[in-house]
Structure 1
Amino acid sequence: MTVASREGVDPVRLNSTSPVALIEIDNPPVNATSQAVRAGLLAAIREADSDPRIEAVVIACAGKTFVAGADIREFGQVPREPHLPDVINAIEACSKPVVAAIQGTALGGGCEIALACHARVAEPGASLGLPEVKLGLVPGAGGTQRLPRLVGLEAALDLVTGGRPVRAPEALRLGLIDRLSSGDLRQDAMALARELIGQPLRRTGERSVAPLDAETASAKVAEIRKKARGAEAPGKAAELVLLAANLPLQDGMARERETFLELRSSAQSAALRHAFFGEREVMRLPGLDSVEPRPIQKVGIVGAGTMGSGIAIAFADAGFDVRIVETSEQALSAGQARVTDVYDKQVASGRITPAAQDERLKAIGYAIGTSSLLDRDLVIEAVFEDLEVKRALFRDLDAILPPGTILATNTSYLDVSLIAAATSRPADVVGLHFFSPAHVMKLLEIVRTDATAADVVATGLALAKRLRKIPVVCRVCDGFVGNRILSRYRQQAEYLLEEGALPHEVDAALEAFGFPMGPFAVSDLAGLDINWARRKRLAPTRDPRERYVDIADRLCEAGRFGRKTGAGWYRYEDGKREIDPAVTALVEESSQRRGLTRRAISADEIQSRIRAAIVNEACKILDERIVERPLDVDVVMMHGYGYPAWRGGPLFEADRVGLQPILAQVKERAAQDGPGWEPAKGLVDRAASGAKFYP
């Protein structure tokens, strides 16, 4: 029995062997639950159920993965029958044992298919999860009702509301799967299916769930909503999971489906789908489709500080041969200790095994001096943020490295063109701006100069894919995309201080907006001295008419560099952030010195002004062709700066809010704040014509 799909190829096949039949899903690349797959699976399970020769069934998938989720080509379309809940209910209702054989990933609908089976066998490297909240949704085919029946309410709350996938060993401990495969997955699943023949069927939906007491349940939901920072889906998912303890399966599924359909048409889900597709679209840069990247396996890192160590870990985790160089044994030993400490903590938390730690530590070598980098395919500098220091290093590297070696700078702000000009090979120079901590943060800005070769840019994109980073390609300007926008909205935040707000009020307003931290808390975390150095570098070229707030400079002059010194915009007692009356006095004195009458500033005004600053600077970046697409800005801000993904990024959200009110806010600020706040041409033109960033 087969159901034809793409160009006559069968997406579902039933091999009616006796006593255990095999249903194979074959819908490359990830066996998504397209309409053809749903129809084929439903037909296959019905045929197996009615065939007297078949006594048990195994559901398996061709390729490297189990069903990895919905077919993204069907996003936004009216669902076509059969609907996935009906298919899954038919699997659970089958009168013969059904076993899932799971390899790769079983996500979303794939996980829900596995949950409905009567038993589950998985390869040790497989992972299972319900990531729907990341798209502003809840599971829509029984996931919120069946998962708690297998793993209990607390574990289900964690997995469903966070969208976190679990590896097979953890899934086994939780009760999500029944066995780990010892080698041949299908044979192991067949063996389990034969064991279940004639035994009472273990239908997940018929299991009971131990309830939480009302106070604990309420506290759990409150905690989840707080952690979600304004996203709706996690809280709604939590409420559904808790229903599993009190409602029959079908009643709970009806509530689940109702919530799923409600969220599917919500603004938040539309924004998160935009974010989902944006993460994939940034990998496809116009003009590079046919450009082959250079082969990279041996990577050199110059500098063993926090950034250099983090970059080295990111490459070691991805299987590269890494060598870190420093100028002294002391600096090198400190870097090696940083790397080891990160891996020690990952082992202690269970994220990696001791064997994996050993393998990754062996992938990183250490040496004094750049002469040890002669065999490297790529060398990345992560030294002090000083233009002449970096230019001198690149001159030295240019003199010793063979032709074809790519030279990359991790600079956050500096002109990559000037760094490249210090070499005889500017075509081989590129910016690879990692975000701290480099082994954790997903964003990678790939900065191309006018001279950077196309295959070097393509290599940057290929590296990002292998490193599991989200890359955005941009051109040269001070701060590139993210830090340029950050500087502008941090400046507006400081204007708010002079006019009447206090640091904790600005931070609270932006955290209520959905940012994980406000700009002043972020400054303390990063270190105020970093931006102080930049301000001093730019001081000679600053427009004397520009409004300049010197509060941060005065904090730095007093040695208040943030958390690392125990004081910055806040003071820190045992690592806890506290409002500091000394900063309040400094802010109020600054207002008085400028002759400004302080006033109460609402959270709405703070949010509106910060949003206007971000959108206007983003439009200037688009006007200058620093990036080609609005989605590049959105992706940078979401993955590098914590812009809430459920808003879709600043430009996606600007379409929803409306460009006219944003432009009006920008014009008002330009009139009051002076140079630097002129409305961007692209914003003015779009507001006048009614055009959107995403038509």
Structure 2
Amino acid sequence: MSYLSTERQDDIAVITLDQPGEKVNKLNEQLIEEFRALLDTYSGDQNLKGIVLVSGKEGNFIAGADVKMLQKKQAPKEIEELSRTGNELLRRLEQFHKPVAAAIHGSCMGGGLELAMACHYRVASSHPDTVMGQPEVNLGLLPGAGGTQRLPRLIGLQKSLTYLLTAKNIYPRQAYNMGLIDELTHKDAIVTAAVKAISTINSGDFRRKDKRSIIERLLEGNPVGRKIIFSKARKRAQSNTRGNYPAPPTIIDCVEEGYTNGLEAGLKKEAKAFGRLAATSESKNLVTLFFGMQNAKNNPHKDRARNIDKMGVLGAGLMGAGIADVSVNNGLRVLLKDQSVEQAARGKQTIWQNLQDKVEKRIISEFERDRTSSLVTPTGRYDGFENADLVIEAVFEDLELKQKMVKQVEEVAPERCIFASNTSSLPIARIAEASSRPEQVVGMHYFSPVQKMPLVEIIQTEQTADWVTATARQVGITQGKHVIVVNDGPGFYTTRILAPYMNEALNLLEEGISIEQLDSAMKQFGFPVGPAALFDEVGIDVAAHITEVLNEMFAARGVTPSNKPKELLDAGFKGRKNRKGFYRYEESEGKKKKKNPNEDMYAFFGGTTRKDLETETIQQRMALAMINEAAWCLQEQILECPGDGDLGAILGLGFPPFLGGPFRYIDQRGASKVVSKLQQYQETLGPRFEPAEILTRKASKGGTFYE
């Protein structure tokens, strides 16, 4: 079936892109071939005044290149050739003898934006669904169809490097203000505006304005200024990635080539680099992660999920307000309850302020702010819960308190109501002991800050009904989260594998390394923050509680976790929340900003005299503590598959994405090497490094987790 259909309007060809059988349009070889044939057809049309490109999909122009197509190509040669083919086609479009206008509504990402940038005019809808960007760096790649060349020419060197290197979204008003888009209008008027633009261009009345500031033009308009910009971009990229990702410096090289030697030279370098990056292990792991994230937004048991019309959230603090925030922003009605209506109202105010920030950035309108805010109702009572289909508790990590919440909710909620706990470590089965309907109790573990962290971990017990798990999963997906489902146990999956990692950090501090070396080593390994800083962010009080919950399980394996979290808590150390942790904090504009390491901490770890330890040793001990525990979780069927384990570790805990997750790390390094190193540490450091049996079996048979 054809991807393209044509309608003639006053000798202007309106081409509709509509990929059959797909929710979104993706650039693939069939679309490329059809587009080439279309240009062949119109190149000899003397009556043609111009072409307008529009999507037949609701809320989508082109989502980007078909990543599955890339996977089927051999890298680097076939990928490079694909990039060259795409560039030749877009150069032909760019040089077409009649004006071509893109009418954009919805997502216009990656290759879709590259196609739009090759057009002579771009009109976009001002609707919130419209978003643009070059996200290829998230796949360990660069834009392979001219993105490194055309984006800088449209919006300027400095702005383009920001978007190329960070994959940040560009919203309609931003796009217009920086010159990426020529015109903004209502979504129902984009084709009309594009058709009018064709006539304007043909009349010679259209001139694109340079919307850069005077300073930007001065700096970017001379070789010395550009040299400074490229130098700073390289330093910033190295600082952000620690050299673990090859794509950012390669993107900078391609942009610089285009500025130095012209567009054709830049495109040639871009195509070659695109193929080379696709062959790297980093890109292959990131592409696999991409598909894992796509799968985590699909519910295999959607037919079992029940409709959630109204939900309740217990606790209007940081977590509760965050859960309510992502719920109402995705159309769910929420009763937000706290001990008083005033406390609950403060939670709603936080949500309103987040919406107001979007208004100020012109991402949403004031009407949309007010409509979304109206979906949350603050309360200090259970009035209204008689209509709740789901209640999520986000109260303090105390078993008796959570069991009390179960009983109170079941006294007022309808029989169909699901009770979900946002605990980070308490077994759901223990919470369900207080329920008269334990089959309707499930865990929904969110991560802080809820609005930014992409993962929700659904925890099912042996009693949890299938429809309850399916419904909880669907709610997480509706909230815009990536969802994994795990089985019940102390710490579930993410908290459980984090515990040995953090415990090893305490052991290393006791052995004498500094807070700086510990955090620096793990950031260099690829974690976004170091473990000492993470202790402060999570809260030392929370760490002490988790240690207590997990003690019995680890003791059964002969492992005795460090008691330092409790000692520190007893001494008044809680972390960032009370500005007393592994780092010192100062209050600035209402926020607690991290400063230097807190040397008072060393009194609990053998004194201020510190010693250096080989960076690789720190990294291996820390990483293998987490990786080995992930294998234990798969062995004990906490995890149902390695893919969930990799996704949970990356999205929930910041395990380095370019390494693919604990199980891909094992497969790529080799189970035998991992086991050998664990056994070495087991001999010198004790039973906490005993390899999981599933690992030793893989090592002896030469098997992998991803067969």
* SS at 2:605 equivalent: helix
- Between the aligned partners of 2:602 and 2:435, the Cα distance in structure 1 is 48
Contact 2:102 2:121 in 1 (8 A): yes
Over the aligned positions, Cα root-mean-square deviation in angstroms equals: 2.5
Give the TM-score normalised by the residue count of structure 2. Answer: 0.91
TM superposition shift of 1:368:
1.5
2:689 is paired with a residue of what secondary structure?
A: coil
Aligned to 2:115: 113
SS at structure 2 position matched to 1:231? coil
| Letter of the 2:94 counterpart | E
Q: Which residue of 2 aligns with 1:6?
A: none
Q: 1:164 to 1:456 in 2, by over 3 A?
A: same
Question: Which secondary structure state, in structure 1, belongs to the residue aligned with residue 308 of structure 2?
Answer: coil
- Give the distance between the partners of 1:178 and 1:481, measured in 2 at CA: 49
- Residue 24 of structure 2 is aligned with which of 21, 27, 30? 30
Change over 3 Å in CA distance of 1:389–1:203 after alignment to 2: closer
> SS of the counterpart of 2:532?
helix
Q: What do the CA deviations read for 1:572-610 (whole angstroms, capped 9, x no partner)? A: 24523212332234312599xxxxxx8642110111112
- The residue correspondences of 1:552-591 to structure 2 (distance < 5 A) are 552-574=565-587, 575-589=593-607
Asked whether the 8 Å contact 2:514–2:612 carries over to 1, the reply is no
Structure 1 residues 370, 238: closer, same or farther in 2, change over 3 A?
A: same
Mapped partners of 1:274, 1:122: distance in 2: 32
**Partner SS for 1:616:** helix
Change (3 A) 1:130 1:653: same
CA contact (8 A) 2:258 2:267 kept: no
Q: CA deviation at 1:480?
A: 1.0
1:180 paired residue number:
184
After superposition, residues 204-603 of structure 1 pair within 5 angstroms as 210-211=221-222, 212-229=225-242, 230-284=244-298, 288-289=300-301, 291-348=303-360, 352-537=364-549, 543=555, 546-574=559-587, 575-589=593-607, 600-603=612-615
Query: Following the alignment from structure 2 to structure 1, what is the Cα–Cα distance between the partners of residues 197 and 346?
Result: 52
Q: CA deviation at 1:199?
A: 3.2
8 Å CA contact retained: 1:118, 1:203: no
Q: Would you say 1:167 and 2:171 are equivalent positions? A: yes
User: Alpha carbons of 1:196 and 1:349: their partners in 2 closer, same or farther (altered >3 Å)?
Assistant: closer
TM-score after normalising by structure 1: 0.92
Contact 1:502 1:587 in 2 (8 A): no
SS in 2 for 1:633: helix
Q: Secondary structure of the equivalent of 1:95?
A: coil
> 2:547–2:561: 8 Å Cα contact kept in structure 1?
no
The Cα shift of 1:72 comes to 2.8
In the alignment, the residues of structure 2 paired with residue 466 and residue 504 of structure 1 have an alpha-carbon distance, to the nearest angstrom, of: 40
Mapped partners of 1:327, 1:164: distance in 2:
39
Q: Match for 1:43 among 16, 37, 52?
A: 37
- Name 2:140's counterpart in structure 1: 136
Cα distance in 2 for residues equivalent to 1:165 and 1:538: 40
Code of the residue aligned with 2:114 in structure 1: it is E
% identical aligned pairs: 32
Deviations 1:511-531 (A, max 9, x none): 001111011101112211111
Distance 1:548 1:637, change over 3 A: closer
Which amino acid letter does the alignment assign opposite residue 404 of structure 1?
R
Query: 1:621: how far off?
Result: 0.6
Residue 374 of structure 1 aligns to a residue whose secondary structure is helix
Aligned pairs for 1:46-61 (under 5 A) are 46-61=40-55
The answer to whether residue 113 in structure 2 is matched with residue 95 in structure 1 is no
Question: Hey, what's the Cα distance between the residues in 2 that align with 1:290 and 1:564?
Answer: 40
Partner of 2:682: 670
Whether 1:154 aligns to 2:147 is: no
Task: Give 3-state SS (helix, strand or coil) of 2:193's partner.
Answer: helix
- Shift of the 363–330 alpha-carbon distance from structure 1 to 2, 3 Å rule, reads closer
Deviations 1:383-405 (A, max 9, x none): 11111111121022122211211
Quickly say closer, same or farther: Cα 1:655–1:382, change in 2 above 3 A.
same
Gaps of 5+ in 1: 1-8, 592-597
* Structure 1 residue 252 displacement after superposition: 0.7
The 2-side partners of 1:186 and 1:345 are apart by 31
C-alpha distance in 1 between matches for 2:553 and 2:167: 48
Distance 2:99 2:346 in 1: 58
Separation of aligned partners in 1, 2:363 and 2:123: 22
Q: Secondary structure at the match of 2:61?
A: coil
CA 1:37–1:213 in 2, change beyond 3 Å: closer, same or farther?
Answer: closer
CA spacing shift, 1:453–1:611, aligned 2, 3 Å = same
- Relative distance call for 1:106 and 1:538 in structure 2 (3 A) is closer
Rounded to whole Å, the distance in 2 between the matches of 1:202 and 1:110 is 24
CA drift at 1:73: 2.7
Cα offset, 1:299, TM superposition: 1.1
Contact 1:244–1:252 under 8 Å retained in 2: yes
Q: Report deviation, 1:258.
A: 1.2
Deviation at 1:335, TM superposition (A): 3.0
C-alpha distance in 1 between matches for 2:302 and 2:498: 34
- Counterparts of 2:301 and 2:317, CA distance in 1: 36
Q: Is the 8 A contact 1:663 1:683 kept in 2?
A: yes
Structure 1 CA distance for aligned equivalents of residues 468 and 651 of structure 2: 23
In structure 1, which of residues 19, 23, 33 is the aligned counterpart of residue 11 of structure 2?
A: 19
CA positional deviation for 1:83: 2.4
Partner of 2:590: none
| Alpha-carbon separation, structure 1, partners of 2:208 and 2:585 | 54
User: How many residues are treated as equivalent by the alignment?
Assistant: 677
Structure 1 residues 187 and 335, CA, compared in 2 at 3 Å: closer, same or farther?
closer
Secondary structure of the corresponding residue to residue 402 of structure 1: coil
TM superposition shift of 1:669? 2.9
Query: How far, CA to CA, are the matches of 1:88 and 1:542 in structure 2?
Result: 59
CA distance in 1, matches of 2:249, 2:656: 16
Task: Give the letter for the 1:190 counterpart.
Answer: V
- In structure 2, distance between residues paired with 1:538 and 1:460: 25
Secondary structure, aligned partner of 1:96: coil
8 Å Cα contact 1:347-1:353 kept in structure 2: yes
2:61 paired with 1:66: yes
CA distance in 1, matches of 2:55, 2:345: 48
Shift of 1:540: 7.1
- 1:589/1:74 Cα in 2 relative to 1: closer, same or farther (>3 Å)? same
- In structure 1, C-alpha distance between the alignment counterparts of 2:594 and 2:169, rounded to whole Å: 31
How far apart, CA to CA, are the structure 1 residues paired with 2:40 and 2:342?
69
- Displacement of 1:283 in angstroms is 4.2
Equivalent pair of 2:52/2:194 in contact (CA under 8 Å): yes
Residues 348/66 of structure 1: CA separation in 2 closer, same or farther (3 Å cut): closer
Give the deviation of 1:349 after TM superposition: 5.3
Could you tell me whether the CA contact under 8 Å between 1:116 and 1:203 is conserved in 2? no
Is the alpha carbon distance of 1:39 and 1:201 closer, same or farther for their aligned partners in structure 2, counting shifts above 3 Å?
farther
After superposition, what is the alpha-carbon deviation per residue over 1:17-36, rounded to whole angstroms, capped at 9, x for unaligned?
A: 54211222221322211211
For 1:29 and 1:155, locate their aligned partners in 2 and report how far apart those are by CA, in whole Å. Answer: 31
- 2:144 is aligned with what amino acid? G
SS at match of 1:220: helix
The 1:328–1:693 alpha-carbon spacing in structure 2 relative to 1, beyond 3 Å, is: same
Cα 1:114/1:348, change in 2 over 3 Å: closer
Q: 1:631 to 1:554 in 2, by over 3 A?
A: same
- Equivalent position amino acid for 1:436 in 2: S
How far apart, in 1, do the equivalents of 2:356 and 2:107 lie?
27
Q: Contact 1:48 / 1:57 at 8 angstroms: preserved in 2?
A: no
Q: Contact 2:345/2:379 (CA < 8 Å) preserved in 1?
A: no
